[in-house]
Amino acid sequence: MMVHAYFSRRVRFLLAAVVAFSLPGISLAGSVSEMDLLRQQIAALEASNRELGELRTEVAQLRSTQEDQWVNSRRKEELKSMISEVLVDADMRSSLMGSHMTAGHNGKNFFLASEDGSFLLKMKGQIQFRYIGSFQDAGSGASAIDDETKTGFVIRRAKLDFSGNVVDPRLGYAIQVAIDRGTNTASSDKIAISYGLSEGFTLWGGEDKAPFLREELTSSSRQQAVERSFVNEVFTMDKVQGVGLKIKKDDWMTHVMINDGYKSGDGGTRQNRFTQTGVSQVNADTGADLSRGSVSGDFNDDQTDFAITARADFRFAGNWKQMKDFAAWDGEGKAIFVGTAIHYEVGETGDDAFNNNFLSWTMDGSVEQGGTNLYAAIVGQHTDLEAAGASGQPSADDVDLLGVVVQAGFMMVPDKFEPFVRYEHVDFDNWFGGAFDEVDIVTVGFNYYMKKHAAKFTLDLLYAFDPLPFRDEGLGLQQDDADSDEQMVLRAQYQMLF
């Protein structure tokens, strides 16, 4: 419309000029000749042509400008639409990294949450794929080992962990599901609910690790060797059912728990070989073993009247985060921790079994500095034998077990390559007879960290200098004959956390 009006005005002006100069009979001046008039008309026509050329140029420029404006307007609408789509997508993919972000991965675990934080679900997992080679020196007794060499692969651990809070950040929950390495069936490994009474005070109930051994309380994903020590497996209370109170301060923390006793959170696998099998759980009249295959996690099927576990930890240097594993990472300062714990258990009364009372205790400490780590622990267990002197039972009134473990590691390549060594000793106080009275074990190996514990490869060699009175498949150890000399286990493992 603007182009047409502009063009019309200019054309009318030029045409009027041409007509004016070309009308016959108009006298410009008496002295002007017809030749001069003709020259003037030619000049006027040339001027008109120049004006028409300028007009065409301006019209072309105007059209180009209007087309650009139209294109820019269309592009602007497209950009608006694109930006709107990106904003919608960003809102859908939001995470807790911002105040309005409610889903994603925070570098440690996946999560879902409400914007106000009142509802939270954290999800993480663990996979440990392991090779084990077990080599024994067979004895010559009646139960002589038939196969001295056992090798193979195993999914040692496959776990999914869910935790968070409901309605209020103070009201927490935790559920862990584990895949059985033998049957590939899934079962609960931890079930707990908690309430934050105030800052540093937490009350909880359910089934989880008893607050006893530091090795056991340290996640299997954060161990230094491929597996926890043999000492830990002998003395651990593992998972128990009960209620507990946790108190955490700047330089100390404590955890007290009333529970159903040794491995009461492990169902039918929880018999204590030193207090709940053999001499400790037998029929008073017949001597028959009552413990095997008769226990569960239910309230009326345990073998304990009462149990209490308590642990205290003290921080002399470093931060509590450094206590979650045994590695001395690059950039971490010096750390010193000391801990102690007890577990007292009263055996089941009112049935026809000899159920023994026992007291377990431990002390441990660790130091980390400059890439070097050192950990040591001593643990003991005193058992009162209710069946002492009975037919077929030991004459001793009690038995005292003792275990010691010391391990050290050094980051030869910071956060990448870490050799380690571990020594452990167990004194069974002649529980199994002279042949199995004491056991010494040394483990050497290394860790190669690709992303700290989230992706690491571990290789170690375990050497038992003495025959073992029982097996532990988790460690790769087999039961020996009494006259066996030694046992060696080669273990290689790749771990992934997600």
Per residue in 260-284, pLDDT tens?
998 888 765 556 666 654 444 444 4
Domains belonging to the chain, first-starting first, are 2-24+32-92 (no CATH), 129-154+192-497 (2.40.160.10)
pLDDT of 335 reads 98
Selection from 365, 364, 367, 366 nearest residue 334 by Cα: 367
**Phi, psi (5° rounding) for residue 238?**
55, -140
Residue 488 pLDDT exceeds 90? yes
Residues 120-146: tens digit of each pLDDT: 999 999 999 999 999 987 766 555 566
pLDDT of 30 reads 42
- Between 135 and 43, the more confident residue is 135
- Calculate mean pLDDT across residues 111-117: 88
- Between 6 and 327, the more confident residue is 327
Query: In this prediction, what percent of the chain has a pLDDT beyond 70?
Result: 70
Residue 17 pLDDT exceeds 50? no
Residue 250 pLDDT exceeds 80? yes
**Phi, psi (5° rounding) for residue 266?**
-110, 10
Residue 169 pLDDT exceeds 90? yes
